[in-house]
Copies of this chain bind each other. A is one copy, B any other.
């Protein structure tokens, strides 16, 4: 993996970069659609390519439980299994073990938990989690971490941080053994900064991870229920502690306004289920703000979701038709709005990159958000 900062915005900390991986070259800042169970919900891989997706996300915990590693190994890895041949970043699933599964015991050694699907009991160490992601053939792996809820005491946050550092260090040692995925791609390992909403803990976490030495740094444990302002503050105070020359990834964020704010602070990578989750509920992101397709006001509206959008949905279907599809419970409705939303997020990031290159990101952000309020 190679990461190069191409251009730094003159008015904000935003920057463009290029991340070169074995399976593809990624322009940053980038939005990564989420395919938790080995499919970006309701979209085909062909449609992801139409939307110009450069990299997608998947989840080691989910795939480990279902369909299981043997099946993905037999398929020749996750890329072949799901027919997506560009890079895949896999989340370790630490977050899911803490939030979804019946957690039996957190020990320094690893996690003892029961599957949320069938109650089967499992024990995973940080080393296991690296090996799981190597078996999947992940292009960017995330180490097992302990993600705390919000709010949490500084003492609890510190215990989780210390364990996260310990696990990061063990993950790195496992990774350094040099094992490769099913088709010889080794993939990269990032570190995950924790520390909840405590600036001193965030700083400490960043410093300890840098000492271990990762190729990229993620900021975890944000967007877990805290107010936006607090998230921005924590992000703002954490960013200076991350190396300039490495990609910075804000996990699980978020709404367009959150993404733009984080870009202005120098974040390079984003993922979020919002475009597809909102899409399935008929909520569409547009250049004029969010609209709820099901609303009666659109029943006679012959305009596309977003007149400024060039996606398949906007080039071919009216709000009136989409409303009819949702009202009739037709799958094509949620497909089209999910597709549009993914396109919208990826397209927004392309505009973000163009604006940064021309040192007008601040104006772009103001104008984008201003239009959203109409």
Q: Which residues of A are interface residues toward B (Cβ below 8 A)?
A: 37-39, 41-46, 66-67, 70-71, 74-75, 81-83, 299-300, 302, 312, 316-318, 320-321, 323-325, 327-328, 330-332, 334-336
Contact = CB atoms under 8 A, between A and B. Distances in A.
Contact of A81 (B44, B67, B318, B331): B318
A325 B66 CA distance: 10
A312 B50 CA distance: 15
Nearest to A299: B71
A320 B43 contact: no
13 contacts: A42-B335, A44-B312, A46-B312, A66-B328, A67-B299, A67-B320, A67-B323, A67-B327, A70-B300, A71-B299, A74-B302, A75-B320, A83-B316
B328 A37 contact: yes
Contact of A316 (B45, B66, B327, B328): B45
A80 to B, nearest CB: 9
A70 B324 CA distance: 13
Nearest to A329: B37
Q: Which of A37, A302, A321 has the most CB of B within 10 A?
A: A321
A73 to B, nearest CB: 10
A74 B300 contact: yes
A331 B321 contact: no
Query: Looking at chain A's contact residues, is the secondary structure mostly helix, strand, loop, or mixed?
Result: helix
Contacts of A327: 66-67
Q: Which of A41, A71, A75, A83 has the most CB of B within 10 A?
A: A71
A282 to B, nearest CB: 14
B331 A334 contact: yes
A83 B82 CA distance: 29
Nearest to A327: B66
A324 B42 CA distance: 14
Closest 7 CB pairs of A and B: A42-B331, A67-B324, A83-B316, A37-B328, A39-B332, A39-B330, A81-B321
B83 A300 contact: no
Contacts of A83: 316-317, 321
A315 B67 CA distance: 21
B321 A82 contact: yes
Nearest to A38: B324
A318 B71 CA distance: 11
A299 B331 CA distance: 26
A41 B330 contact: yes
B82 A39 contact: no
A96 to B, nearest CB: 14
A83 B313 CA distance: 10
A152 to B, nearest CB: 32
Contacts of A300: 70-71, 74
Contacts of A82: 321
Given A39-B332, A44-B335, 5 more contacts: A39-B330, A44-B312, A66-B328, A67-B323, A71-B299
A53 to B, nearest CB: 15
Given A67-B299, A71-B300, A300-B71, A42 B321 contact: no
Contacts of A335: 42, 44, 331, 335
Nearest to A83: B316
Contacts of A328: 37-39, 66
B320 A74 contact: yes
A85 to B, nearest CB: 10
